[in-house]
C-alpha cells in the first residue's frame, strides 16, 4: 500500500498597497499563470537557472494584504485592462479568483493613523497578519511593500536600537512612518519583509536587528525596473573600458499614482536618493548631471526615461550616448514581486535572517550589499539560490 502523499505547504504573500497598480498587475498575472492563460515573461525565477532550486510553487500561493483604497480589486484590474496594462479578456476569466483575494484585504493604516496612534496601528497590523496566516494554514508568509513612495523618515534615537524602538512604539510615540511600522508588524508576527519602494523600512538598524532577533529575512530597497536597471548594465561598460563619464543626466516622465506621489518633492527625495546610488558605487565617483522626475498624467501607467551621458576617451576626446526607455512600470515590477516572495520564502526555509545581500539584483539601493553591477548581481543571485537549496536539501535530483 502506498504511503499517503504529504500535502504541499501553502505559503502566503501579504501586500502593503494591495490594490495599487503593481500589486493588482501582479495578482492578475499570478492568477492568469496558474490558470494557464499567460506565460512567465519577465519573471526571473522561471528561468532555467533556477530549475531544481525548490522554490515554492505559484499554485500553492495565497495572496492577501491591505490598502487604504477601497476600489475592489476586480474594478482595479478592469481599469488596468482598459489602459492596456493587462491583456483584454483576461480579467473576466479570473474574476472569481480576484474577488477571492479582494475578500482577504484589510483596510490598512494611514499616515495619520501611524502619527496619532502608532501602538494601535501596530496592534491592528499584527492581528491582520496573524489572522491571515491562521485562516489559511500558511507555512510561511512574506510581506512586500508596494505602496506609494514615502518621504524619508525623520531621524530618531530609537531607529538605532531595537529595544528602544519597541519601547517607543509601546509608549505610543510616533517614530515611524507606515512602511517601517508594517515591517515591525511583519517581523514580530513571524513574517519576512521585502521593501519594493525607497522607504526607510529596511535601512533602519533597529528593524534589521529585529529581523535578526526573530530569525527572519528581509530585503530591499526600491525595485529596479527601468532607467536604473539600464544604468547598472551600462555603467560597468564605461568603467571596464576606462572611459571617464563626465556627466549622466536623466529625465523621468511618468503618470499614474506613482507619478502623482513623486510630484511632491518630499516624496521624490527618497526615490532620487536610491536612483543616485549605483553610479557612485560602479564608477567610483559621482558624475555631473541632474536626475529629474516629472508627473505627466496623460502617460498613465507608462513611463519614459531619457538619459544623456557624456564621456571622455583616449586623448580626452569627448563623446555622448543617449537612450530612451519607454516601459509600463507595473508590468515590469509585478513579476519581480513574485520572484522576491519566492526567493525570500526559500531563505525562510533555510533559517536565514537579516538583510539578504544576494537579492541586490532586484533593487536600486540594495540593503546589505555594495554590489551594483547587474551581471555580477545576477551571478551572486544564482549562486546563493543553489547554495541555499543544497543546504536545505530542496535541490531536485
Tell me the per-residue pLDDT of 233-285, one tens digit each, with 9 for 90 and over: 999 999 999 999 999 999 999 887 665 665 556 655 655 666 678 999 999 99
Categorize the per-residue pLDDT at 8 as very low, low, confident or very high, splitting at 50, 70 and 90: low
Note the pLDDT tens digit of each residue in 217-235. 999 999 999 899 999 999 9
- Domain around 56: 11-222+331-392
Instruction: Please give the full DSSP string across 14-67, using - where no structure is assigned.
Output: EEETTTSHHHHHHHHHHHHHHTTSS--TT-GGGSGGGTTS-PPPGGGEEEEEE-
Amino acid 4: pLDDT: 44
Dist. CA 58–CA 10, nearest whole Å: 10
Strand partners, 251: 292, 306
Is 6 part of a structural domain of the chain?
Answer: no
Note the pLDDT tens digit of each residue in 288-305. 999 988 999 898 889 999
**Do both 107 and 250 map to the same domain?**
no
Is 260 part of a structural domain of the chain?
Answer: yes
Using CA atoms in the order 118, 123, 124, 130, what is the torsion angle rounded to 10 degrees?
A: 150
**Do both 52 and 173 map to the same domain?**
yes
For 248, the grid coordinates are 549622466
**Do both 205 and 295 map to the same domain?**
no
Amino acid 255: pLDDT: 83
**Do both 119 and 242 map to the same domain?**
no
**Do both 32 and 163 map to the same domain?**
yes
Residue entry with cell 533597529: 206
Dist. CA 216–CA 185, nearest whole Å: 13
Instruction: Please give the full DSSP string across 252-271, using - where no structure is assigned.
Output: EEE-HHHHHHHTSHHHHHHH
- On whether the pTM is more than 0.95, the answer is no
Amino acid at each position: 500500500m502506498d504511503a499517503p502523499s504529504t500535502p504541499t505547504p501553502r505559503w502566503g504573500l501579504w501586500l502593503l498597497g494591495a490594490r495599487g497598480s503593481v500589486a493588482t498587475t501582479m495578482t492578475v498575472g499570478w492568477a492568469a499563470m496558474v490558470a494557464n492563460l499567460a506565460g512567465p515573461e519577465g519573471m526571473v525565477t522561471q528561468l532555467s537557472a533556477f530549475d531544481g532550486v525548490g522554490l515554492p510553487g505559484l499554485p500553492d500561493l495565497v495572496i492577501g494584504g491591505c490598502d487604504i483604497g477601497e476600489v475592489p480589486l476586480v474594478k482595479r484590474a478592469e481599469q488596468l485592462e482598459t489602459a492596456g496594462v493587462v491583456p483584454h479578456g483576461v480579467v473576466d476569466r479570473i474574476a472569481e479568483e480576484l474577488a477571492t483575494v479582494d475578500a482577504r484585504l484589510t483596510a490598512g493604516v494611514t499616515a495619520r493613523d501611524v502619527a496619532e496612534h502608532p501602538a494601535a496601528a501596530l496592534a491592528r497590523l499584527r492581528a491582520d497578519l496573524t489572522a491571515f496566516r491562521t485562516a489559511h494554514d500558511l507555512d510561511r508568509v512574506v510581506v512586500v511593500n508596494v505602496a506609494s513612495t514615502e518621504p524619508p523618515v525623520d531621524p530618531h534615537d530609537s531607529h538605532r536600537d531595537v529595544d528602544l524602538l519597541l519601547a517607543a512604539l509601546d509608549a505610543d510615540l510616533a517614530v515611524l512612518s507606515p512602511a517601517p511600522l508594517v515591517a515591525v508588524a511583519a517581523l514580530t508576527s513571524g513574517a519576512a519583509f521585502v521593501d519594493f519602494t525607497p522607504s526607510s523600512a529596511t535601512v533602519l538598524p533597529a528593524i534589521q536587528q529585529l529581523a535578526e532577533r526573530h530569525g527572519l529575512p528581509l530585503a530591499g530597497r526600491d525595485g529596479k525596473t527601468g532607467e536604473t536597471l539600464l544604468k547598472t548594465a551600462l555603467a560597468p561598460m564605461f568603467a571596464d573600458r576606462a572611459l571617464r563619464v563626465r556627466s549622466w543626466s536623466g529625465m523621468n516622465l511618468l503618470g499614474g499614482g506613482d507619478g502623482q506621489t513623486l510630484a511632491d518633492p518630499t516624496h521624490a527625495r527618497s526615490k532620487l536618493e536610491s536612483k543616485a546610488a549605483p553610479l557612485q558605487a560602479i564608477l567610483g565617483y559621482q558624475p555631473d548631471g541632474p536626475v529629474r522626475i516629472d508627473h505627466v498624467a496623460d502617460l498613465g501607467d507608462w513611463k519614459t526615461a531619457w538619459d544623456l551621458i557624456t564621456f571622455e576617451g583616449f586623448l580626452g576626446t569627448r563623446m555622448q550616448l543617449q537612450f530612451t526607455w519607454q516601459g509600463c512600470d507595473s508590468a515590469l515590477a509585478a513579476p519581480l514581486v513574485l520572484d522576491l516572495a519566492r526567493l525570500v520564502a526559500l531563505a525562510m526555509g533555510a533559517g536565514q535572517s537579516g538583510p539578504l545581500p544576494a537579492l541586490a539584483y532586484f533593487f536600486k539601493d540594495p540593503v546589505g550589499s555594495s554590489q551594483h553591477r547587474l551581471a555580477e548581481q545576477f551571478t551572486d543571485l544564482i549562486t546563493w539560490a543553489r547554495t541555499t537549496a543544497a543546504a536545505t536539501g530542496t535541490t531536485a535530483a
